[in-house]
Amino acid sequence: MSAETMRTFAELGPYLTILVGAALPTHIWRWLGVLFAGKLDEQSELFTWVKAVATALVAGVIAKLILFPTGPLATLDVTIRALAAAAGFGAYVASGRRLALGVLVGELVILGGWLMLR
Amino acid sequence: METSDTANVPARAWFLRGASHLFSLPAFVLIGAQIGFAALAREAGFSLGQALLLTLAVWALPSQVVFVGIVGSGASLPAVMLAVGLSAVRFMPMVMSWTPVVRTPQTPRWLLLFMSWFVAVTAWVFAMAHLPDMPRKARLPFFAGFAICLTVMNAAVVGLAYLVIGAVPPMIAAMLVFLTPIYFLMALWGAARAHADRFALGLGLVLGPVFTILAPQIDLLAAGLIGGTLAYGLGRLVRKPLR
C-alpha cells in the first residue's frame, strides 16, 4: 500500500474508512431516493421527469467513462473510444436490440484500435 | 392445479425467478467490469478484504473506482466523502423512480430502504425494463432475487479475480473497463419507456462532458437536472407512442 493511501487510512483504518468514505456517501442518496419518493405515482408526470433526470445523470456517467477514462483505456485515442461506442450502439439498434452484438462490435473496435494504432 | 394465473405464486417463487436472470448478458457484462475493478484495487495496493468490503458495502462501480483513485492520491477523509458523494448523486432520482415501481401499499419503508442498497445501474435498468409488465406483488421479490444474487455473485467474482488473476494485460484491462459504458448505453436505450427517456439519454451524453469542462465539481448533477428537464419538455411535445 502506498504512502498516500496510508495517509487517508491513518485516522480510521482501512475498513472504517471504506464504510465512512465510500459506503455512507453512496447510500445517503439511495435513502433520500426512498424518502423523497413519498407518494410518487408511477403514472404521474413528476415520475416521468424524475426518471428523465436519472437517465440523463447515468448518460452523463457513460459519456465521462468514454471521454475521460482512467487507467489503460485512457491510453487509447479518444476517437477510437467514441467510434467504438457509436459502432456498438449502432449495431445494437440496427440488429433489433441485440445486446451481445452491440457489446461484441464495440469491443472489437477497441481491440482493433489497440492492435493497430498504439 | 397449475394455471397461467400468476396471482397465487408465492414471493419465494418470484425471488427464484428473479435470481434465474443471473445467467444473462447484463450479469456477465457486469462481472467483466467487476473483474476490471478487482485488478484496479489490487494494483492500488488494496487487500482482498478491502476490495470485497468496497464491492459489498458500496455496490456502485463508479463510486468504488472513484474511491480507489482518490484514496491513492492521499486525499483527506472529507475530500474522499465529497468526491464519492458527488459521483453517487444519480442514485437519488434512480431510487425515486424505482420506488413507485416496486412497492405495494403494504410495503414497509424499512424494506425499501434496505432494498435500495442493491439498486445500481444494472439492476435499475433490469427493474425498469421488466417490472412494469409484472403483477405488483411480484415486483419486489423478483427484484430482490435478481439484485441480491447479482451483488453476492459479483462480490465472489471480485474475490476470485483478485486471487486468481495476477496483473491483467493492459489491452484486456482496457476492454474490461470499456464494458461498463458500452453496456450502460444500450441498456438505457432498452429501458426507455417514454420519449423523455431517450431524449434524456442523448442530452446526458452531450451535457455530461460539457459540464465536466464548465463546472467539474457539479457536472453530473447539472447534466442530470438540465438534460432531464429538457428531455421531459421535449417528450411532452411528441404525441405518438414509443416504439
Mean pLDDT of B92-102: 95
A65 vs B119, B173, B181: nearest CB: B181
Count of domains forming chain A: 1
* List of chain B residues whose C-beta atoms are within 8 Å of the C-beta of residue A31: 113, 116
Are residue B237 and residue B169 in the same domain, yes or no? Answer: no
Instruction: Choose from B30-34, B116-120, B174-178, B192-196 the range with maximum mean pLDDT.
Output: B116-120
Q: Are both B140 and B25 inside the same structural domain?
A: yes
The 3-state secondary structure of chain B reads: CCCCCCCCCCHHHHHHHHHHHHCCHHHHHHHHHHHHHHHHHHHCCCCHHHHHHHHHHHCCHHHHHHHHHHHCCCCCHHHHHHHHHHHCCCHHHHHHHHHHHHCCCCCCHHHHHHHHHHCCHHHHHHHHHHHHHCCHHHHHHHHHHHHHHHHHHHHHHHHHHHHHCCCCCHHHHHHHHHHHHHHHHHHHHHCCCCHHHHHHHHHHHHHHHHHHHHCHHHHHHHHHHHHHHHHHHHHHHCCCCCC
Claim to verify: residue B169 and residue B231 sit in the same structural domain? no
Specify if B61 maps to a domain: yes
Chain B residues touching residue A108 (CB < 8 angstroms): none
Q: Which of residues 37-56 of A touch B (CB under 8 A)?
A: 37, 40-42, 47-56
> Which grid cell is A6?
496510508
Say yes or no for a CB contact (<8 Å) between B190 and A50: no
- Tell which residue, B145, B134, B146, B149, has the closest CA to residue B104: B134
Residue A85 lies inside a defined structural domain of this protein: yes
Same structural domain, B209 and B118: no
Let me know whether B168 and B231 are in one domain.
Answer: no
Residue A74 has what pLDDT? Answer: 87
Residues B106 and B25 reside in one and the same domain: yes
pLDDT score of B166: 66
Quote the domain boundaries for residue B217: 193-243
Tens of pLDDT, residue by residue over B9-62, are: 888 999 999 999 988 888 888 888 888 888 888 888 899 999 999 999 999 988
- Say yes or no for a CB contact (<8 Å) between A55 and B116: no
Whether A59 contacts B157, CB under 8 Å: no
Residue B77 lies in a domain: yes
Residue B227 reports pLDDT greater than 80: yes
- Which residue, of B158, B174, B191, is where some domain finishes? B191
List the single residue in A5, A30, A42 with the smallest CB-CB distance to B100. A42
Per-residue model confidence (pLDDT) at position B2: 40
A7 pLDDT above the threshold of 90: no
Q: Contacts of residue B99 in chain A, CB cutoff 8 Å?
A: 33-34, 37, 40
Given an 8 Å threshold on Cβ–Cβ distance, is A47 in contact with B97?
A: yes
Q: With bands split at pLDDT 50, 70 and 90, how would you rate the model's confidence at A72? A: confident
- State yes or no: pLDDT of B165 exceeds 80: no
Q: For B130-154, what is each residue's pLDDT tens digit? A: 999 999 999 999 999 999 999 999 9
d(CA B137, CA B101): 10
Q: Nearest CB to B219: which of A60, A66, A103?
A: A60
In a domain, B6, yes or no: no
Q: Which residues of A touch B54 (CB under 8 A)?
A: 18, 22
| Substitution target from B71, B179, B183, B207 for chain A, most A beta carbons within 10 A | B71
Asked if the C-beta of B118 comes within 8 angstroms of chain A's C-beta atoms, the answer is no
Q: What is the pLDDT of residue B7?
A: 62
Q: Is the per-residue pLDDT at A52 higher than 60?
A: yes
pLDDT value at residue A86: 97
Q: Work out the average pLDDT over B178-195.
A: 89
Quote the pLDDT of residue A11.
76
Residue B45: inside a domain:
yes
Instruction: Give yes or no for A75 touching B (CB within 8 A).
Output: yes
Total domain count for chain B?
2
Percent of all residues in chain B with a pLDDT value above 70, rounded to a whole number: 96
Q: Each residue of B122-158: b (16+ CB within 10 Å) or e?
A: bbbbbbbbbbeebeebbbbbbbbbbbbbbbebbbebb
DSSP-derived 3-state class of residue A67: helix
The string of pLDDT tens digits covering residues A77-113 is 999 999 999 999 999 999 999 999 999 999 999 999 9
A106 falls within a domain = yes
B240 lies in the same domain as B139: no
B184 and B232 inside one domain: no
Query: Do B83 and B73 sit in the same domain of this protein?
Result: yes
Instruction: Please indicate, yes or no, if residue A88 is contained in any of the structural domains.
Output: yes
For residue B125, is it left (φ>0), alpha (ψ between -120 and 50) or beta? alpha
- Shortest distance between the Cα of B181 and any Cα of chain A, in A, equals 5
Distance CA B149, CA B95 (A): 19
Q: Quote the domain boundaries for residue A87.
A: 69-118
Query: Which among B82, B205, B225 has CB closest to A63?
Result: B205
Q: Which residues of chain B are within 8 Å of residue A20 when distances are taken between CB atoms? A: 77, 81
Query: What is the pLDDT at residue A94?
Result: 97
Q: Number of H helices and number of E strands within chain A?
A: 6, 0
**A64 touches B: beta carbon within 8 Å:** yes
Q: What confidence category does residue B3 fall into, taking pLDDT thresholds of 50, 70 and 90?
A: very low
